[in-house]
Amino acid sequence: MPRERRFIGTVITAAIFIAMEVAALNMMSRSSELQRSWVGSISQGFSAVFWGTGQKIGGYFSLEKQNRALAEENFLLRQKLLESEITEDAPAKVIKGFEYTPAEIVKMSRNRQHNYIILSKGYDDGIKEKSAIITSDGAIGIIDAVSAHFSYAYSFQNSEISISARLGKEGAVGPMVWDGHSSDGAVLREIPLQYRYSPGDTVYTSGYSAIFPPDIPLGVAQDAKIINGSTNEIRIKLFRNFTALRYVTIAHNTSLDEMEEFER
Amino acid sequence: MRRRQFILTWIILLVVQMFLCNYFQFTPIVTLSILPAMILCLPLSVGTVPALFIAFGAGFTVDFLADGVIGLNVFALVAVAALRRPILRLVFGTELFSRGEDITIRRNGLLPVSIAIVFAELVFFILYTIADGAGTRTFLFNFGRVMLSTLTSFILCLVAADTLLGENNRL
């Protein structure tokens, strides 16, 4: 009780002190033109700091909402882009065949050799198995099973997953796998020795896979080593760091069933 | 009787301060003021809130009756009143408050009282100089003004403190 009283007393004293100082500043600003501009600049600076801080705090708490809105907008823009590309001279059968749905990662493992991802969308949202999980700058995984409201996917950080990737837009194609330990590292295998590349070349999805759409930038090539004297194995630094991942897009090839049926 | 004598002495010193403001401003770089010492030497029984009101009233009176910007002394003196107890606690320790005895130069010594006065003066003149300059003066000028004003006013403050803290004036 005495502590509470002391605290209240301190608050009251501080309030009276501030009120008196404000009154003194007010008197000064009314008494002299010089002091008026000085007090004006102080009050402007103070209100700028006060409102700026308030806005920052408000912005921080609305980040999640903004992220959702951006993910939705991203999805809509991707759909629009898709439509515009169909009407132009792009190969319609490749681009047209993918259906995009935004989703949020609700669970993801990162510290195993067989990592997985659980997404917030299921078959009620039109999600199907063997769909790709992508972002604008990376391939994240492949959906393996779906429930009504969730999807279970193999993460790219899974030693069993490989993605068909291409060095540059028109370069050699090979399977790209996780390097097994880092959150932004991969290895591009089976690149023929005769194919010349430069460290820093961008790696894209090849489009040879029926799961991933083509030309999604994945990362940049780094150093290489020769395997069995016949192929290069190139180390890739991924654009997308898996430690900072939350909103993704699910891409489903609408012709997948037909393609699989045809392959049989 | 002693209370009345203290109040009377305090009011006389306030009038002296008005004279200092009106007739003893020889140079813009030196300001003479005994107001910080007058606030510092208020009895310990006077709490911070009453001291704030006393400082506000005294500062306003001096501002109103002397030439200068109204509110300037109020602005600086209210801060001294707010920091009066922390300054006393810093210089004399917490024992002073637990004993409940007022400070006197004879009992507490000239040096501690002088140090407390200098602290109070520094608070007063720093705020006074900044507000009076209103951002138009250089740091060097303001620094020089604070130092010179503190030094020159110190003697006057010491005399004022001795007058207020004398044994005859204790409440």
State the virtual CA torsion across A125, A128, A129, A133 in degrees, nearest 10.
-70
Assess A41–B contact: CB distance below 8 Å, yes or no. yes
Assess A18–B contact: CB distance below 8 Å, yes or no. no
- Contact criterion met (CB < 8 Å) for A20 and B134: no
Mean pLDDT in consecutive groups of 10 residues from the start of chain A, 264 residues: 77 89 86 79 76 75 74 73 52 60 85 85 86 86 89 88 87 89 87 82 86 86 85 88 82 82 76
CB A149 within 8 A of CB A122: yes
pLDDT in tens, A64-112: 777 777 777 777 787 677 656 544 344 434 455 788 888 888 888 888 8
Nearest to A134 by CA among A70, A204, A83, A233: A204
How far is the C-alpha of A216 from the C-alpha of A78, rounded, in Å? 12
Distance between the two ends of chain A, CA-based, in angstroms?
82
Mean pLDDT in consecutive groups of 10 residues from the start of chain B, 171 residues: 80 87 79 89 86 90 82 90 89 77 78 89 91 82 89 89 69 45
pLDDT of A83 reads 58
pLDDT of A175 reads 92
Distance from CA of B9 to the nearest CA of A (A): 25
pLDDT of A90 reads 41
Domain range for B46: 2-169
Assess A30–B contact: CB distance below 8 Å, yes or no. yes
- Contact criterion met (CB < 8 Å) for A24 and B71: yes
For residue A27, what is the nearest residue in chain B, using CA coordinates?
B71
pLDDT in tens, B57-102: 998 888 888 877 888 889 999 999 999 888 888 888 877 777 777 7
pLDDT of A84 reads 61
- Contact criterion met (CB < 8 Å) for B52 and A16: yes
Q: Which helix (H) or strand (E) holds B35?
A: helix B35-40
pLDDT of B171 reads 45
- Contact criterion met (CB < 8 Å) for A35 and B63: no
ipTM attached to this prediction: 0.84
- Does the CA dihedral B131-B136-B137-B138 come out positive or negative? positive
pLDDT of B126 reads 92
Reading the block at residue A69, the tokens are: 């809105």
Assess A15–B contact: CB distance below 8 Å, yes or no. no
Q: Which CATH class is domain A98-264?
A: mainly beta
How far is the C-alpha of A211 from the C-alpha of B34, rounded, in Å? 86
Reading the block at residue A137, the tokens are: 């700058």
pLDDT of B1 reads 56
Residues of A in contact with B69 (CB under 8 A): 28, 31-32, 35
Residues of B in contact with A12 (CB under 8 A): 49
For residue A39, what is the nearest residue in chain B, using CA coordinates?
B134
Nearest to A16 by CA among B51, B163, B129: B51
Distance between the two ends of chain B, CA-based, in angstroms?
8
How far is the C-alpha of B138 from the C-alpha of B145, rounded, in Å? 11
- Contact criterion met (CB < 8 Å) for B78 and A20: yes
Assess B131–A contact: CB distance below 8 Å, yes or no. yes
Distance from CA of A35 to the nearest CA of B (A): 6
- Contact criterion met (CB < 8 Å) for B79 and A16: no
Q: Where are the domains of chain A?
A: 2-69, 98-264
